[in-house]
Amino acid sequence: MSSKDIVLGYKQLLEVEQGWRGMKQIIDLRPVFDRREERIRAHVVLCWLALLLIHVIETTTGDTWPNVRRQLDRLHVGTFTGPVGVFRQRTEVSKPA
């Protein structure tokens, strides 16, 4: 292997390790109490997909996930029942959201 390939592999390893660290911290991958292998694998794959979605959101918006999440947390939908019937109302969507 060339020194360039070794450096590239090392950088990719660092990105993978940061991804796992992020998966455990950002999306709160906790101990999995499933005993069946396919359920454990499914849990990890779903967490990996969530981390990938976070990465896409950060890349697309140019903002950090905590900031984007704060903006999205401001959106709410309420379902109300009255004499006329059922209707839904949502908060106004701000430009950042």
Q: Give me the chain's average pLDDT, please.
A: 79
Domain edges within the chain: 3-90
Give the burial class of 92: count Cβ atoms within 10 A of its Cβ; 0-12 exposed, 13-18 middle, 19 or more buried. Answer: exposed
And the tokens for 87? Answer: 């209707």
Q: Residue 24: is its pLDDT beyond 70?
A: no
The Cα–Cα gap between 58 and 52 comes to 10
Whole-number pLDDT of residue 27: 58
- Counting residues of the chain whose pLDDT is more than 70, the rounded percentage is 82
What does the pLDDT look like over 31-53, one tens digit per residue?
A: 666 678 888 788 778 877 887 88
Question: At 60, is the pLDDT very low, low, confident or very high (cuts 50, 70, 90)?
Answer: very high
